[in-house]
Structure 1
């Protein structure tokens, strides 16, 4: 495509009329010189002549917005929520739901404060969960949140049990926990020996 060459007369005309809005500028230029330039070409021509319109699209410093001090652009309308409106999906405190990963959660506060039921049961009987510990279901059923089915173990013990003994029966929980602790102790000794070498 051949580049359009602007004459001195066209450049003089542009310097005189460059502040017009781009659609009007394009139409006036095309009529004055009997050409068919697009808005993009006219904008490029204006930039090549280093003519700035001052229209950057940003608010000048110190500008006061038209809606300053107002809440929203309009007042309440027929679709607005009324005062003390309760949404259709509201759930009161104490509501129990089953999460997508199979655990029971209980709503403990507004607006969206939830906690796992097994942790609440543990804390009710034993106080806060110790730091670095998790609450494990003995029978691996996350819906069975009775205190007899819960035990607190360290995160490393939990990882070893899940990796090596995940299919163990609930009656072997103490043996499985002891085996996990033995594996962790062995790993600690091996790591210590490697560090000394």
Structure 2
């Protein structure tokens, strides 16, 4: 099935926005199904029961450059990027036996930084809902750099007047509550200031407050 998936080609080349959205929605469903299968199987650590990470990660990152007409598909691609990067289980990219490739980690954290601090509220909601709750638990290399970004995005969500079910308030509260478990010394580590397309760092000893 991995060969068949690769044979479909790059979904970002689809000119029809609805088809682009539909394909990414299918990839999300497929990834979730395979991860559930993996969680209920006793498998060798090298077995890949998930959507091929090296294949879909590039697609998801490239989707960021698509025009506004593909907005719905871009948001789904961002969700798939978070779910596939943070997936757990045998062969998953973030598992203990298969550390995230450093090059992808840089690109992933760059996408998080731009999205969490940007003005597009839909992007912020997607990242808070699908990246924030497990970010501190997974603790990828250099994770402290984005602490201020996640705090900023979580605050934006909680201060919003949107009370609908699509607003990820639970995820925002979960992240902010998880900060209390971090060691105080980590608050002195350099963190990116929450400004899009800027990479200035600052320490924030009173972040927990």
> Is TM-score (shorter-chain normalized) higher than 0.5?
no
Task: With the length of structure 2 as denominator, give the TM-score of the two structures.
Answer: 0.18
Question: Which has the larger helix fraction?
Answer: 2
Q: Which has the larger radius of gyration?
A: 1
Task: With the length of structure 1 as denominator, give the TM-score of the two structures.
Answer: 0.18
